[in-house]
Amino acid sequence: MALEHEYDALITDILLPGVDGLTLCRLIRQARPQLPIVMLTALGTTDDKVEGFDAGADDYLVKPFDFRELFVRLRTLLSAMGAV
C-alpha cells in the first residue's frame, strides 16, 4: 500500500508476516526516498536500532511506548519536511 498510495509518514514494525520490516523499509526507501519512516518495534538492542537506521528508518521507537512520544517524533519528522 505504501507504494500505491501517498502518505505523510509510515510507521512499521520489524516483525511482520510475509516480509520483515527491514526489507520493507529498504524497498520503500528506494521508491519513496522522502517518505518519513518510523520503526516501532519490540526489538530494542543497539544492534537492532542500528540495523533499523541502516535500512533507512528516520526514527526508531521501542515498545512499549508512550503515544505522546510517538506524536512528537512524527511531528518533528514532518516539520523537518515542511509538512506541518
Residue-wise pLDDT tens digits, 3-28: 889 999 999 999 999 999 999 999 99
Residue 84 has pLDDT above 70, yes or no: no
Split at pLDDT 50, 70, 90, the class of 74 is: very high
Residue linked to cell 518510523: 38
Find, among 1, 8, 3, 6, the residue nearest to 77 by Cα: 8
Report how far residue 28's alpha carbon sits from residue 33's, in angstroms, rounded to the nearest whole number: 7
User: Do 21 and 39 form a contact (C-beta atoms < 8 A)?
Assistant: yes
Domains of the chain: 21-81 (3.40.50.2300)
Q: Tell me which DSSP letter residue 12 carries.
A: E
63-66: long-range contacts (C-beta < 8 A, 24 or more apart)? 65/40
Percent of the chain with pLDDT over 70: 98
